[in-house]
Every structure is written in structure tokens, then in C-alpha cells.
């Protein structure tokens, strides 16, 4: 099949630009500009980034040592330090013109969409993601890997899969045979196919190849939004929806593991992962299991932050509000089955979190609101709602401003639209992401 031009169903494409608010503008020219951007954005989401970003834990490791290690692990591709962020390494993937053309093998396996996107970002094929493998395929056989875009291939398929929704993505070597993958009552695990070449030309690299706690493969905008928070060692900072802890550990590093950093998440399993991440990267954080919409108290509750939530008003100098969202900014995406109901379920929760966050923030304190999604409702429209709802919030222009301007269609002024940071096809080669920096006056 041809490479997809959008990962979403047609009805979802239309909802991405929906405001979900009565406060909107109806300028026809602005609508056209949004629609042109959306078309470019959808195609971009289907493609793979041409670089891998690696955040280095500089509080415990030397950047230059990690840079040399990356060069040793990856035989092709340029490695450089990000010009604005000295804790971020950029591994540029080999130029397509310098890579040999991938030749399809006679043997094949079929993988699910989630496995396919992981492969395009540098992963090998893990056993649960294998849907079909030819009868008679043996360990160490060379094989071509196809993605089942439509999700119609049945588990254990044993012949050549004929489907218009079948997409060639990589070649590799079989490490587990059919009996190990599809046997009765089996729950297979481990690497089933070792990928040797990908159409994305992304190298195989992961955190296990580096010293424990030294590196974190993190998308560029996720690093940028933490730097935007204006972290200092002496501050009291809240990470409201903190799991899995990647941004929490970054904040702690920028604080030089001093001050007070509180990290909150609701789900026990996520809190456990958050704690594990903090331990691995040596983060100095107070981790609490709590519903972040219910951590504010306005009576005479104990003001000692170390005792955990609820917290009094104006407790924190900085707040990172990295909200649960529809997560439509993942890249690459080949096929998404997100529904309209799910897509519309996040705005009410995001507003509740704002109603908690703003009172918790001290005067002259900064708040970063961020999402890993692309919808107007969860991004620009949410910022516009927050400015209308909280009279003591103002948008601040981040430094540096590496994202693009926000979309049209909300009550944001032109200056405010330029202050919000939308990441997409025209700026940073990473994922779809959004953040806004507020100050409380």
C-alpha cells in the first residue's frame, strides 16, 4: 500500500480543529490557514523523525563521555549537542541518499501497528507484536517485516498476507520461530525479529546501552518545556501529573537536586513507575499518590509540603501541568483508532486541573501547561479559556521560542497566539507537542 497521508479516520481529522467552546472566531481566511496546516500536519505525523534526541543526566555524567559513547554505538549518523540546551544530544539519522535501497526478502512476517511504529523509531520486533509468520520459517532466516495497517490479519497467520493495508517497513533476522510465538497457552516475550534495516533509517539505540541513570531518550519538546519553567535550585516546584517521571527527573537535575520538588500522580502503578524513574536518575523528589484535581485545600491545613497533599494556596513557585491528553502527537503514526468520545473526554479534566493549579501557584510564579497532542480544543482553546477564567494569569513569551505559533480560531490575541508554542512540521523534527508559559500576577 502507499504510505498513509493521515493516521486518523476522516471524522477525527475534522475534530482536530474543533474548538469545543462557544468562544471562537469565524474568520474564513483563518479557517483556510488552519485547514492547510492540518493537511501538512497529518502527513507529517505518518513519517518518522530524522533524528533521535537523548537527554543526558549532567548531574552525574559528563556530556562529552555520553556523546562519544553514542558515536561508538551508532556507526552512522552525526551526533551534536543542541545549540540551545547543553543537556540534549541530537543523533541525526543517516541521509536517505547515503543508505542502500531496501530489497524485500522472499520470507515475511506481519506485525501490528504499535509494533510497526516502534520499529520505525529504532526498536526490534518483540514477540507480542508478531501477528503472522510463514510456515517453515526458521531462526536466523532473513525476513521482510510488514505492518498490518488495517488490523485485519489474524494472529498466527501462516501464509503470505494479501491485503491493501499491508505496508513494508523493514528487514531483519528471525530469532523466534512459530512454535515459540503461537503455541497453545504461550505468552511469548523477548525479541522475535532482530531488525537490521528500516525504511526510516533510524538506528537501534536505547537506554540499556548506556550506564544506568545516564541518559533518557526524550522528545525535544518535552525537554524544552521543562527548560521554559525557569527552574532554580532554591524553589518549591510541583509536577502535577508526573508519571512516568521523565520531566520530574529533568526538573530535579536543573534544581541541582536541591529545593523542594513534589511529584504527584493518581494511579498506583504509575506512581510505582514514577518512583522507579526517580531512583534510577537520582532525582530528589517527594512522590505522592493523589488525584491532582483534589490536592488543593483552602482551610488551615498543615503547611509542611513534605507531609504531602492537600496543599495550601500559593504553595509553589513553579508548576508543571503536563496534562493527560488525547496524545495524537505521536510520530510516526500509521493508523489510529481513537474515537470521537475519547477525543472529547479530556477537556473537562484539563480544566479541573487548571482550577487546582492556579490557586496553588504563588504570585509571580510560573506555570507551564503542556500536552503531547495536536487538537485545537486541548491546546490553544484551553489556553484561551484559562486566560478568560483566571484574571491573574498572563502568557509569557518563552526564551528561546523554538515552536511555531498557535492555530487560529480562539479568543487569543495575535500576540498571545505567537507566545504559545506548537510543535509540528514547520519547526522541530520531533513529535506533535504544545506548551504555554504563564505567570501569575
Residues 246, 153, single domain; the answer is no
pLDDT of residue 95: 77
Residues 143, 247, single domain; the answer is no
Domain containing 257 — which CATH number?
Answer: 3.40.50.150
Model confidence at 217, in pLDDT bands (50, 70, 90)?
very high
Domain containing 152 — which CATH number?
Answer: 2.30.130.10
Model confidence at 298, in pLDDT bands (50, 70, 90)?
confident
Model confidence at 98, in pLDDT bands (50, 70, 90)?
low
> Does residue 152 lie in a domain region?
yes
Give the pLDDT mean for 192-210: 93
Residues 74, 126, single domain; the answer is no
Residues 121, 88, single domain; the answer is no
> Does residue 27 lie in a domain region?
no
State yes or no: pLDDT of 21 exceeds 80: no
> Does residue 189 lie in a domain region?
yes
Q: How far apart are the C-alpha atoms of 368 and 440, rounded to whole Å?
A: 11
Residues 134, 272, single domain; the answer is no
Q: What is the pLDDT of residues 303-327, one digit of tens each?
A: 789 999 999 999 999 999 999 999 9
Q: What is the pLDDT of residues 361-390, one digit of tens each?
A: 999 999 999 999 999 999 999 999 999 999
DSSP β-ladder status, 236-239 and 130-133: unpaired
Percentage of the chain lying above the pLDDT 90 cut: 87
Residues 408, 320, single domain; the answer is yes
Q: Quick check: 102 and 88 in contact, CB under 8 A?
A: no
DSSP β-ladder status, 421-423 and 361-371: unpaired
> Does residue 395 lie in a domain region?
yes
Q: How far apart are the C-alpha atoms of 235 and 384, rounded to whole Å?
A: 28
**Which of 93, 116, 151 delimits the end of a domain?**
93
What's the sign of the alpha-carbon dihedral 368, 372, 376, 377?
negative
Q: How far apart are the C-alpha atoms of 69 and 209, rounded to whole Å?
A: 9
Nearest to 257 by CA among 228, 277, 230, 286: 286
Q: How far apart are the C-alpha atoms of 297 and 318, rounded to whole Å?
A: 18
Question: Which grid coordinates are listed for 325?
Answer: 491528553
Residues 224, 315, single domain; the answer is yes
Dihedral class, residue 364 (left if φ above 0, else alpha if ψ from -120 to 50, else beta): left
What range does the domain containing 378 cover? 219-440
**Which of 198, 233, 267 delimits the end of a domain?**
198
> Does residue 325 lie in a domain region?
yes
How many structural domains comprise the chain?
Answer: 3
> Does residue 1 lie in a domain region?
no
Crossing angle of helices 246-254 and 268-280, rounded to 10° = 40
Residues making up the binding site for S-adenosyl-L-methionine: 241-247, 265, 299, 322
pLDDT of residue 4: 86
Percentage of the chain lying above the pLDDT 70 cut: 98
Burial grade of 428 (CB within 10 A; 0-12, 13-18, 19 or more): buried
Residues 435, 329, single domain; the answer is yes
pLDDT of residue 97: 64
Residues 159, 237, single domain; the answer is no
Mean pLDDT of the chain: 94
Among the listed residues 46, 225, 278, 372, the single catalytic one is: 372
Q: Give the 3-state DSSP-derived string for the chain, with helices as H, strands as E and coil as C.
A: CCCCCCCCCHHHHHHCCCCCCCCCCCCHHHHHHHHHHHHHHHHHHCCCCCEEEEEECCCCCCHHHHHHHHHHHCCCCEEEECCCCCCEEEEECCCHHHCCCCCCCCCEEEECHHHHHHHHCCCCEEHHHEEEECCCCCCCCEEEEEEECCCCCCCCECCCCCCCCEEEEEEEEECCCHHHHHCCCCCCCCEEEEEEEECCCCCCCCHHHCCCCCEEECCHHHHHHHHCCCCCCCCEEEECCCCCCHHHHHHHHHCCCCCEEEEEECCHHHHHHHHHHHHHCCCCCEEEECCHHHCEECCCCCCCHHHCCCEECCCEEEEEEECCCCCCCCCCCCCCCCCHHHHCCHHHHHHHHHHHHHHHEEEEEEEEEEECCCCCCCCHHHHHHHHHHCCCEEEECCCCCCCECCCCCCCCCHHHHHHCEEECCCCCCCCCEEEEEEEEC
Q: What is the pLDDT of residues 382-399, one digit of tens each?
A: 999 999 999 999 999 999
State yes or no: pLDDT of 2 exceeds 70: no
Residues 146, 248, single domain; the answer is no
State yes or no: pLDDT of 20 exceeds 80: no
> Does residue 341 lie in a domain region?
yes
**Which of 198, 227, 250 delimits the end of a domain?**
198
> Does residue 31 lie in a domain region?
no
CA angle 112, 426, 382 (to 5 degrees): 80
Q: Quick check: 125 and 193 in contact, CB under 8 A?
A: yes
372 classed as catalytic: yes
What's the sign of the alpha-carbon dihedral 247, 248, 251, 253?
negative
Residues 294, 175, single domain; the answer is no
Residues making up the binding site: 241-247, 265, 299, 322
Residues 183, 277, single domain; the answer is no
pLDDT of residue 22: 75
Amino acid at each position: 500500500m502507499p504510505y498513509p497521508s493521515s493516521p486518523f479516520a476522516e471524522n477525527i481529522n475534522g475534530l482536530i480543529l474543533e474548538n469545543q467552546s462557544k468562544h471562537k472566531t469565524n474568520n474564513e481566511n483563518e479557517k483556510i490557514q488552519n485547514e492547510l496546516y492540518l493537511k501538512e500536519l497529518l502527513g507529517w505525523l505518518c513519517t518518522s523523525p530524522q533524528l533521535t534526541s537523548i537527554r543526558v543526566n549532567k548531574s552525574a555524567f559528563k556530556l562529552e563521555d555520553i556523546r562519544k559513547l553514542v558515536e561508538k554505538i551508532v556507526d552512522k549518523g552525526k551526533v551534536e549537542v543542541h545549540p540551545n540546551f547543553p543537556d540534549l544530544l541530537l543523533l541525526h539519522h543517516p541521509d536517505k541518499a547515503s543508505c542502500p535501497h531496501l530489497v524485500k526478502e522472499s520470507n515475511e512476517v506481519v506485525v501490528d501497528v504499535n509494533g510497526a511504529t516502534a520499529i520505525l523509531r529504532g526498536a526490534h520486533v518483540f514477540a507480542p507484536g508478531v501477528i503472522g509468520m510463514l510456515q517453515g520459517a526458521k531462526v536466523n532466516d532473513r525476513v521482510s517485516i510488514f505492518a498490518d495497517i488495517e488490523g485485519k490479519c489474524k494472529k498466527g497467520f501462516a501464509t503470505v498476507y494479501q491485503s491493501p493495508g499491508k505496508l513494508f517497513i523493514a528487514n531483519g533476522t528471525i530469532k523466534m520461530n512459530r512454535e515459540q510465538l503461537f503455541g497453545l497457552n504461550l505468552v511469548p516475550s523477548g525479541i522475535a525479529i532482530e531488525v537490521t534495516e528500516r525504511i526510516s533509517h533510524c538506528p537501534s539505540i536505547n537506554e540499556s546501552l548506556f550506564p544506568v541513570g545516564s541518559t533518557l531518550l526524550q522528545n525535544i519538546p518535552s525537554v524544552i518545556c521543562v527548560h521554559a519553567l525557569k527552574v532554580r535550585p532554591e524553589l518549591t516546584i510541583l509536577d502535577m501529573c508526573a508519571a512516568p517521571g521523565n520531566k520530574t527527573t529533568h526538573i530535579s537535575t536543573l534544581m541541582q537536586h536541591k529545593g523542594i520538588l513534589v511529584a504527584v500522580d493518581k494511579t498506583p502503578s504509575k506512581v510505582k513507575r514514577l518512583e522507579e524513574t526517580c531512583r534510577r536518575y537520582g532525582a530528589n523528589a517527594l512522590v505522592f499518590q493523589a488525584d491532582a484535581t483534589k490536592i488543593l485545600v483552602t482551610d488551615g491545613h498543615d503547611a509542611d509540603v513534605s507531609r504531602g497533599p492537600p496543599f495550601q494556596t500559593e504553595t509553589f513557585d513553579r508548576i508543571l501541568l503536563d496534562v493527560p491528553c488525547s496524545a495524537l502527537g505521536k510520530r510516526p503514526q500509521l493508523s489510529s483508532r481513537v474515537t470521537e468520545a475519547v477525543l472529547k473526554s479530556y477537556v473537562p479534566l484539563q480544566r479541573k486541573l487548571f482550577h487546582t493549579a492556579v490557586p496553588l501557584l504563588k504570585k509571580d510564579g510560573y506555570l507551564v501547561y503542556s500536552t503531547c497532542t495536536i487538537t485545537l480544543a486541548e491546546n490553544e482553546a484551553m489556553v484561551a479559556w484559562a486566560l478568560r477564567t483566571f484574571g491573574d494569569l498572563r502568557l509569557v513569551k518563552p526564551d528561546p521560542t523554538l515552536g511555531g505559533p498557535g492555530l487560529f480560531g480562539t479568543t487569543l490575541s495575535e500576540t498571545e497566539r505567537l507566545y504559545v508554542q506548537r510543535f509540528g512540521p514547520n519547526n522541530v523534527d520531533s513529535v506533535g507537542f504544545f506548551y504555554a508559559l504563564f505567570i501569575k500576577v
